[in-house]
Amino acid sequence: MTAIGIDFGTTNSVAALFSEGEPEVLSIGEPSAEWVAMGFDRVLPSVVALDDERQMVFGWQAKQLDTDMRFEAIKRLFREEETVTAGGEQFYVEEIASALFSHIKQRVLANGHDFDSAVITIPANSRGLARHRTKVCAGIGGIRPIALINEPTAAAMAYAHRHDIDQQTVLVFDFGGGTLDVTVLAVNDGMFFEQGSSGIARLGGVDFDRAVLRHLSEESPESTVWSSSDKDRLRLEIEKAKIRLSSSEIDETVISDPALGAFRLTRPQFNELTRPLVERSGEAIRRTLSDLRMTPDSVDKVLLVGGSSKVPAVRHFVSELLGKAPATGVDPMTAIGEGAAIAAAIMSGELADSDFFLSTEHAMGTVVADPVVQQLRFGTVIPKNQKLPAKQTEIFVPVMDFQESVNVSVLEGDPELPLGHPDNLLLAEFVVPLDPPRPAAEVQIELTYTYDSDGLLHVDVADGLSGVKLVDRVTLASQGAIGGREAVEMASRIRASVENGTAVVGGSVPVSPLPPKSEQLVATARSKVIPFVDDNDAAKLKAFVEALEQAGDDARSARHNELEKALQPFSYLL
């Protein structure tokens, strides 16, 4: 079987194979001559759409189809969203993502390369749930993931394959269409060791495009009557303008639409509109170095990958912050896919003189009572930046004597943050019986976490004194919105679609309209607050708005309260 690597990107996906000692990027899309001229000949837009007959179309066809039934940036939703909304209907995220994986597989097969498994890349700071959903969706789409590796590690492997960077520390700045990850790796004797990583889950090229679209809307009196189709066409032209300003020495370009007219965009204008986003990217660099107690001088090489890293203002900002120019010699658009193919060759034994090692991006722990401050806190079991696979056991005792049971909460996040912080996620919670009840001094709860290289966490609970297992191994990998039966039905449906030469969505998720109170809150946020706050606050508020609009009936109350709380600092605008 061929060693295949897949970069399943937020905005674009890449497939590559390792052949005759080199990674080769495959042409899995069919872009127009305009996009080929801009360097997009070997990428597939990670876009799915439904045509008038509700058949799925993919990639370039979906990206340019005039429809409101379009699904973009699906990977952004892997962390927590169960459904995605298009055309007023809700669909399972898994079905859309699985169909896209299936399409990628068919395109690789069309290139003449038979395969059924691949190394698949994921953002370095993906949570356990996002990692698991990636595995599930790839499997439903007919691709068995032999490993999930972090995108920055893959990029470093692609660079090191062409350049001698042994005994060096590499900082990878991975700025794609939807996410930003900063990872520091040590390269030693052909092996790659992740030292630490931080990121921003919702920051990327799509946010650059939105900033320009917002500016054009504010400058155009006619924007009040722009339809969603108008905005989609304009957003596509904005993306092209961004690429032109990033890949050539021109100082200005024109954003043109047959119905809406022409808009002039200069490089200084673009830099000013996106400056808050560029500067925000520095947070991830500083946090990564701080966590590792490193300074910019400790970094030997800086590698910029991802489409957004091609923006000149981004490259200049990173260079200034780290005091060194970015390395050259890899294509920022395809490096991650190439690295995934190299990893596949390593795992298949085709490439024997290299290896890679992964580490945890977040701490894994449980809720414990701190007797000093008499508060609950995050008790770490597996720390952040622990090499994978990792196994760690910690002993805990009950708070009171003669308890009949104890509650075990499994957390993923940052022990330095309050328990209620959004970055601290509750993965599972279960009750462990204590039979018979006895003094706390006579009880030891032995909690063992085993974290696999594929990002799955397993939990065992035993009596630390007798060794008796109290809870059989629990694998903490949520299926998201779908369970086992739904996954099997979905896989069967997608296979049938491929065999019949068509792809038809299985059906939308029934959704009822928002309650009037929530509709009013959304309208207030969009009309009275979002247009007047800075880009960072606007992006956060939009995320809360979208979460409320996409929430199922059982989650709407919580999403409503979250949006209401997020609006409180701006009450003076209401």
Show which of 341, 357, 373 is a domain's final residue: 357
> What is the chain's length?
574
Together in a domain, 39 and 184 = yes
Establish if 264 belongs to a structural domain: no
Together in a domain, 331 and 387 = no
Together in a domain, 92 and 196 = yes
- Other CB atoms closer than 10 Å to residue 213's CB: what's the count? 20
Together in a domain, 324 and 370 = no
Given this model, what pLDDT does residue 90 score? 80
Together in a domain, 380 and 301 = no
Given this model, what pLDDT does residue 195 score? 86
- Write the DSSP string, 72-103: --GGGGGGT-SEEEETTEEEEHHHHHHHHHHH
Do residues 26 and 15 lie in contact, with contact meaning Cβ atoms separated by under 8 Å? Answer: yes
Looking up tokens 């959304």, which residue turns up? 522
Quick one: CA torsion of 38, 43, 47, 50, rounded to 10 degrees? 90
Establish if 217 belongs to a structural domain: no
The token duo for 220 is: 């155009």
Together in a domain, 322 and 462 = no
Show which of 307, 323, 357 is a domain's final residue: 357
DSSP category for residue 74: G
The token duo for 482 is: 């779908």
Establish if 495 belongs to a structural domain: no
pLDDT per residue, tens digit, the chain (574 aa), is 577 999 999 899 999 999 888 999 999 999 999 999 988 999 999 999 988 888 888 999 999 998 888 898 888 777 667 778 887 788 888 888 988 999 999 999 999 998 989 999 988 777 767 777 888 889 888 898 888 888 888 999 999 888 878 789 999 999 988 889 999 998 887 778 888 888 887 899 999 999 999 999 998 888 888 888 888 899 999 999 999 998 878 899 999 988 888 999 999 999 999 999 999 999 999 999 999 999 999 999 999 999 999 999 999 999 999 999 999 888 999 999 999 999 999 888 887 766 666 677 788 999 998 777 778 899 999 998 787 788 999 999 888 899 998 888 888 888 988 888 877 888 778 888 888 899 988 999 999 999 876 667 888 899 888 888 887 766 664 444 455 556 666 677 676 665 555 555 555 555 466 787 888 888 888 877 887 787 778 888 888 887 787 776 667 888 888 898 888 888 767 6
Contacts of 574 (CB under 8 A, 6+ apart): 524, 528, 529, 567
How many domains, in total, are found in the chain?
3
Q: Provide the CATH number for the domain around residue 409.
A: 2.60.34.10
Given this model, what pLDDT does residue 194 score? 81
Structural domain of 445: 363-452+456-476
Together in a domain, 349 and 397 = no
The three-class DSSP label of residue 473 is strand
